[in-house]
A and B are shown apart, each in its own frame.
Chain A
Amino acid sequence: MEPLIDIVSGVFVAAGAFFVLVGAIGLVRLPDLYTRIHGASVIDTAGAGLLIVGMMLQAGWSLVTLKLLFILGIFLFTLPVAGHALARAALREGLEPKLTHDRRAPAGDAPDAAEEA
């Protein structure tokens, strides 16, 4: 049983680390604020969530597991709300999302979109 738990928790931690890495790459490589929030949210939910599940398996049935469960719940609840607030604040300040096919803009302003259309 012990090695099995070690393997399963190792898989969870590795998967969590993978998503954190993906989110970090996304944060650097994605073009504008909204897509970057999307990249960061991968760290918030998938990355942190899987890491915490892996740690819970290591902790076994103990108070630590319960505390980790609380932390997981708080993460899954607050971080998406924070990301939403960030995106909304940016939108209110007039930061336009970067779109390749911007149908709202007149053709003269977006030569790329006009070409493709």
Chain B
Amino acid sequence: MELLISFALFTLLGVVTVAIVSQRNLVAVVILGSIYSFLIASVMVVLDAVDVALTEASVGAGISTVLLLAGLKLTRTRDYRGQDPNVVGALLAIAVGGALVWGSLVLPPFGAPDAPIHQHVAPRYIEGAGTEIGVPNIVTAVLADYRGFDTLGETTVVFVAGMAVLLLLRRSSLQSAPPSDDEQPAMSGDLVLRVGTKLILPFILLFALYVQFHGDYGPGGGFQAGVIAASAVILLGLTLGLRRARRIAPPALAHAMIPLGVLIFAGTGVATMLLGGDFLEYAVLAHEAKEGHHLGIMLVEAGVLVTVSGTMISLFYAFVERGR
């Protein structure tokens, strides 16, 4: 049965890929890309990687589709069709693809317990997560605790990428007042959408909090929760108008949140150093080691949430304001 589901999913992935390559209308490409992300998320669920699936569904299928559509508003929506086929590019693509397939032939069989990846540090994490850290979700234990330094790097990547895009897109200084002649979005007059948005918003925010704080026990964490929280603001901006969104989540606040999250994350590490431990060694944060780990994971996840949601909201504002 699982094989059948995988087969169907990979067939659909192939179909969508061909459709993306042959499609010239970029709006359709973005929507097809969203479908592709959703299929990948389904594949991740089949592989029991629900944390990755949640990330892919919220980031890939959800928020990046909105940002790409906002970006398309700034450019043309049709792809440039080159006159003659690019022979070198085609040969290069075939060579690289063939090399990848050839390399995959010598990989250990899928799910083999004696594969090197399952022999290295994984057994240590699987055994230690319950007793050392006391977090039922091993993924959270690995991401926020064992590999906290890597996650700090990822959060910094989000910070740097967000800053770079904002610097590229902004027209004048960040201090410039937002345009007061705020045009209403196309859908603002629609009763169904306005009422629907208002009714669903509290549930989106509640779900973001659930994903954030339930990440120790189930799938979820700061990355996913940050994106879900940002999607609430973006939905508000799309249906009820940017002015309403700006009043609830001012752009200055969103901009400030981008470095603030990294500061919380790195500050947790500095705090553990000041308390006599190593960088991001949470055990010293409380009297008992497990309590310390719990507190540390919570702080670090909060930092990730702040940076990710701030970045997403800022990018949305930047794209939409540029499009006027």
Interface residues of A (CB under 8 A from B): 74, 77-78, 81, 84-85, 88-89, 92
Does the CB pair A88–B187 fall under 8 Å? yes
Does the CB pair B186–A77 fall under 8 Å? no
Does the CB pair A85–B199 fall under 8 Å? no
* Interface presence of B190 (CB below 8 A): yes
Sort A-B residue pairs by CB-CB distance and give the 5 closest, nearest first: A81-B196, A84-B192, A85-B193, A88-B190, A81-B192
- Give chain B's interface residue range (CB within 8 Å of chain A): under 10
Does the CB pair A89–B186 fall under 8 Å? yes
Beyond A84-B192, A84-B193, A85-B193, whether A77 also contacts B187 by CB under 8 A is no
- Chain B nearest CB from A86 CB (Å) reads 11
> Closest residue to B203 on the A side, CB-wise?
A74
Interface residues of B (CB under 8 A from A): 186-187, 190, 192-193, 196, 199-200, 203
Residues of B contacting A: mostly: helix
Does the CB pair A89–B196 fall under 8 Å? no
Does the CB pair B193–A77 fall under 8 Å? no
Does the CB pair A77–B190 fall under 8 Å? no
Does the CB pair B200–A85 fall under 8 Å? no
Assembled-state Cα–Cα distance A15/B186 (Å): 38
The residues of A that contact B200 with a CB separation of less than 8 Å are: 77-78
Indicate which residue in A77, A84, A88, A89 contacts B199 across the interface (CB closer than 8 Å).
A77
Write 22 A-B pairs (CB below 8 A) sorted by A numbering. A74-B203, A77-B196, A77-B199, A77-B200, A78-B196, A78-B200, A81-B192, A81-B193, A81-B196, A84-B190, A84-B192, A84-B193, A85-B187, A85-B190, A85-B192, A85-B193, A88-B187, A88-B190, A88-B193, A89-B186, A89-B187, A92-B186
